Amino acid sequence: MIHEQLEIISKQYIAKDTVEMTFRGRMAQEKILPGQFLHLLVGEGTNHMLRRPISIAGVDQQASTITIIFKLLGEGTNTLAKAALGDQLDALGPCGQGYPVDDLQLEKALLVGGGIGVPPLYYLAQSLKQKGVHVTMVAGFQNKEHVFYEDQFQLLGTYYLATDDGSAGVKGFVTDIIDAEELDYDQYFTCGPTGMLKAVSTKLSDQEGFISIEQRMGCGIGACFACVVPAPDSASGYKKICKDGPVFRAKEVVLT
Amino acid sequence: MNLAVHLPGLAMKNPILPASGCFGFGKEYAELYNLNLLGAITIKAATGTARYGNATPRVAETDAGMLNAIGLQNPGVDQIMAQELPFLATYDTPIMANVAGSTIEEYVEVAQKISTHPVIKAIELNISCPNVKEGGVQFGTDPALAQTVTAAVKEVSMVPVYVKLSPNVTDITAIASAAEAGGADGLSLINTLTGMQINLASQKPLLANKIGGLSGPAVKPVAIRMVYQVRQVTDLPIIGMGGVTTAEDVLEFLLAGASAVAVGTANFQHPFVCPEIIEQLPAVLEKYGFSSVEDAIGKGHEHADTHLSRT
């Protein structure tokens, strides 16, 4: 993990309240795994005392750029979105443990993402495809207005889309697609809101899989114990999401 | 410039120490900078046995601050001594152990054990954690209980005892005096102020615990006022804290009467804030006419009655 002022080189709205932002910095030369995140300082002065953890959606080492996608959920993300091209954002990163792409032995991967849990899976899909793994992506969004990266995912493998109201793709949840389709895969990888993670990991409990957990964080480096998750089989009984995660083996942690 | 301060048990190179709970047991920040730069380190609270803490979410941002309700999560005093303290022994920075408990017996047990470890130079007696049902704050809001628990811990501790005071009281000086009567070697203040924030969309409190402790720049004026008031009723050394983000804030606490100053929430915003403040402190002291840290301690009291007369 390094500390760096990252320069914003592009910023665009790619769906309702959803911002894609690309930075240039030497951090892009670090080993960055899908699932790792940037811990971003918000604004100036002391109004925002907590950084925002935002997962990495793409890395281009040649161009030395890192891309993130985030949703406007409150004052912090609104302030982040107001930053202009050429501005520098104070970032810690890459933080946490990502999906262990290098160590995985598999031929076919199932990726399941919900809403703002989709971005790290895009970087994961790219990394897996590069490794020769066939990728099946199941994405879920609230409605058509919130959908993003549909075309990008379709270029990387098989793509299924569900929306809560059926305004795009299938009406229903990602788990409805898992039920309806005969999906062929060796391991699954999921990221999204806790309710979705629970539903997916329960449904696929007989499979090997990885989940990435969202949680409000304090320090982001493992010192403050704000973001923990029960891990009954570990010596301490818990894992720190920011430091030991946010990616875990599905059977390693108990979602609460 | 001489930044050193000498407090009971704590020979500090400079007056800056990270506040308990914001710095774990030092390992994470040691990956970012050399812990020898710090004046001292206060480690995360220890209890008699392991505690998991509260449900998540445990933190929420507020204007110029944050709420937390961690709930004293820690592996218990024995594990801390076995697993965490050996690493800290590799530094020459004095370590202060924050001691918490639900009963006087637990406070005594933890203090007795941890104070025997050679790395521990002082105890911070946490009678002010607002985030657990039974975890101390009752000892910090009742002067008689504060005196009793302080005296009980003083009796067994091998190192000086600083009593950490809660701001959630009507009269902070009454608790400070009670701690002094119990034999405290120093005081540390303030812990967090209890607060709540409700999300408009969900119409629920943002913390799973509903209530949490408010910290950060938003509480600094309360902390300054309390350090100032406590300074007027006791000569015990004070470790001041509450919303410190800059070297100027440190000077303000020194003027109010603190001899050392802890940095908490600011570590989350800027993980390098402690060494940055230490680096900037000499210039700030010099700017306001001080030639050492000792020189500035309590100076805010000397001018207290004269500033209004200047027209």
Whole-number Å distance between alpha carbons of B20 and A244:
22
List, for residues A204-245, the tens digit of each pLDDT value: 999 999 999 999 999 999 999 999 999 999 988 999 999 999
Token look-up 């995660």 returns A245
| Residue length of chain A | 256
HSE toward the beta carbon, residue B109, CA cutoff 13 A: 13
A249: closest CA of chain B, how far (Å): 20
List, for residues A37-50, the tens digit of each pLDDT value: 999 999 999 999 99
Instruction: Tell me, yes or no, whether B132 lies in a domain.
Output: yes
B120: closest CA of chain A, how far (Å): 19
Contact A46 B64 (CB under 8 A): yes
Least confident stretch, A35-39, A171-175, B135-139, B291-295: B135-139
Look at residue A110 in the predicted model and tell me its pLDDT: 97
Kindly list the residues from chain A whose CB atom is less than 8 angstroms away from the CB atom of residue B60. 216
| Residue among B57, B216, B271 whose CB faces A221 most closely | B271
Give the residue among B183, B127, B200 at the shortest CA–CA distance from A74.
B200
Q: How confident is the model at residue B307 (pLDDT cuts 50, 70, 90)?
A: low
- The answer to whether B10 and B288 have CB atoms below 8 angstroms apart is no
Look at residue B138 in the predicted model and tell me its pLDDT: 79
* Active centre residues of B (catalytic): 129
**Mean pLDDT to the nearest integer, A9-14:** 98
**What domain range includes position B115?**
5-53+71-192+216-304
- Chain B: residue nearest A43 by CA? B269
Kindly list the residues from chain B whose CB atom is less than 8 angstroms away from the CB atom of residue A226. 56-59, 68, 70
Instruction: Tell me, yes or no, whether B66 lies in a domain.
Output: no
Give the residue among B11, B10, B14 at the shortest CA–CA distance from B296.
B14
Q: How confident is the model at residue B135 (pLDDT cuts 50, 70, 90)?
A: low
Beta-carbon pairs below 8 A across chains A and B: 105
To which CATH superfamily is domain A2-95 assigned? Translation factors (2.40.30.10)
Give the residue among B137, B138, B130 at the shortest CA–CA distance from B212.
B130
ipTM: 0.95
Q: Does residue B131 carry a pLDDT above 80?
A: no
Instruction: Tell me, yes or no, whether B309 lies in a domain.
Output: no
Whole-number Å distance between alpha carbons of B195 and B198:
10
Instruction: Tell me, yes or no, whether B141 lies in a domain.
Output: yes
Contacts of B279 (CB under 8 A, 6+ apart): none
Look at residue A256 in the predicted model and tell me its pLDDT: 82
Contact B32 A226 (CB under 8 A): no
- Chain B: residue nearest A242 by CA? B28
Tokens of B228: 């100032």
List, for residues B94-115, the tens digit of each pLDDT value: 999 999 999 999 999 999 999 9
- The answer to whether B29 and B86 have CB atoms below 8 angstroms apart is no
Where in chain A do CATH 2.40.30.10 domains reside?
A: 2-95
**Mean pLDDT to the nearest integer, A156-172:** 96
Tokens of A98: 């990502």
To which CATH superfamily is domain A215-256 assigned? Dihydroorotate dehydrogenase, electron transfer subunit (2.10.240.10)
Contact B53 A243 (CB under 8 A): no
A188: closest CA of chain B, how far (Å): 26
Query: What is the Cα B165 distance to its own chain's centre?
Result: 9
**Mean pLDDT to the nearest integer, B233-257:** 98
**Mean pLDDT to the nearest integer, B222-251:** 98
Look at residue B305 in the predicted model and tell me its pLDDT: 61
**Is cis: bond before A230, omega within 30 of 0?**
no
The answer to whether domain A101-209 has CATH 3.40.50.80 is: yes
Give the residue among B50, B162, B46, B164 at the shortest CA–CA distance from B114.
B46
Q: What percent of chain B has pLDDT over 70?
A: 95
Where in chain A do CATH 2.10.240.10 domains reside?
A: 215-256
Whole-number Å distance between alpha carbons of B229 and B108:
29
Contacts of B252 (CB under 8 A, 6+ apart): B220, B224, B300
A78: closest CA of chain B, how far (Å): 14
Instruction: Tell me, yes or no, whether B200 lies in a domain.
Output: no
Query: What is the Cα A110 distance to its own chain's centre?
Result: 15
- The answer to whether A233 and A42 have CB atoms below 8 angstroms apart is no
**Mean pLDDT to the nearest integer, A125-150:** 97
Q: Using CA of residue A173, residue A179, residue A181, residue A187, what is the dihedral sign?
A: positive
Look at residue A230 in the predicted model and tell me its pLDDT: 95
- The answer to whether B140 and B166 have CB atoms below 8 angstroms apart is yes
Look at residue B165 in the predicted model and tell me its pLDDT: 96
**Over chain A, what is the mean pLDDT?**
96
Count of structural domains, chain B: 1
Contacts of B253 (CB under 8 A, 6+ apart): B223, B224, B227, B240, B241, B244, B261
Contact B245 A221 (CB under 8 A): no
Kindly list the residues from chain A whose CB atom is less than 8 angstroms away from the CB atom of residue B59. 50, 216-218, 224, 226
What pTM was computed for the model? 0.95
Look at residue B150 in the predicted model and tell me its pLDDT: 97
Look at residue B128 in the predicted model and tell me its pLDDT: 81
Give the residue among A213, A230, A49 at the shortest CA–CA distance from B53.
A230
Contact A49 B56 (CB under 8 A): no
Residue B105 CB neighbours (<10 A): 11
Instruction: Tell me, yes or no, whether B59 lies in a domain.
Output: no
Q: What angle do CA B283, B241, B185 make, to 5 degrees?
A: 105
Instruction: Tell me, yes or no, whether B204 lies in a domain.
Output: no
Please report, for the domain that includes residue B136, its CATH number.
3.20.20.70
Task: Supply φ then ψ for residue A171, to 5 degrees.
Answer: -80, 125
**Mean pLDDT to the nearest integer, A24-53:** 97
**Is cis: bond before A94, omega within 30 of 0?**
yes
Q: Which residues of A touch B (CB under 8 A)?
A: 1, 3, 41, 46-51, 76, 92, 215-230, 236-238, 243, 256
Give, for A8, the enclosing helix (H) or strand (E): strand A2-15
